[in-house]
Copies of this chain bind each other. A is one copy, B any other.
Amino acid sequence: MPVRDRLPAGRTHVPSAGGSRPPGGPSDRHHEILDAALELFATVGYGGTTMAQIGDRLGIRGPSLYKHIASKQELLVEIVTGMMTELLRRQQAALARGGDVSERLQRITAVHVQYHAEQRYEAFVGHREIDSLEEPHRTHILDLRREYESRFRELVQEGRELDVFRTASDRWSSYAILDMGIGVSAWYNPSGSVSPEQLADTYAELALRMLGAERDSANTREG
Name A's B-contacting residues (CB within 8 A). 1-5, 7-8, 43-49, 127-132, 138, 142, 145-146, 148-149, 166-169, 171-180, 182-184, 186-187, 199, 202-203, 205-206, 209-212, 214, 217-223
In the assembly, what is the distance between CA of A174 and CA of B180, in Å?
10
Contacts of A187 in B (CB 8 A): 175
Contact residues of A: prevailing secondary structure? helix
Q: How many copies does the complex hold?
A: 2
Contacts of A219 in B (CB 8 A): 166-168, 212
Contacts of A166 in B (CB 8 A): 218-219
Given contacts A1-B149, A132-B44, A210-B210, contact A175 B168 (CB under 8 A): no
Q: Which of A142, A175, A218, A220 has the most CB of B within 10 A?
A: A175
- Whether A212 lies near B223 (C-beta < 8 A) is no
Contacts of A129 in B (CB 8 A): 45
Contacts of A132 in B (CB 8 A): 44-45, 48
Contacts of A148 in B (CB 8 A): 1
A47: shortest Cβ distance to chain B, in Å?
2
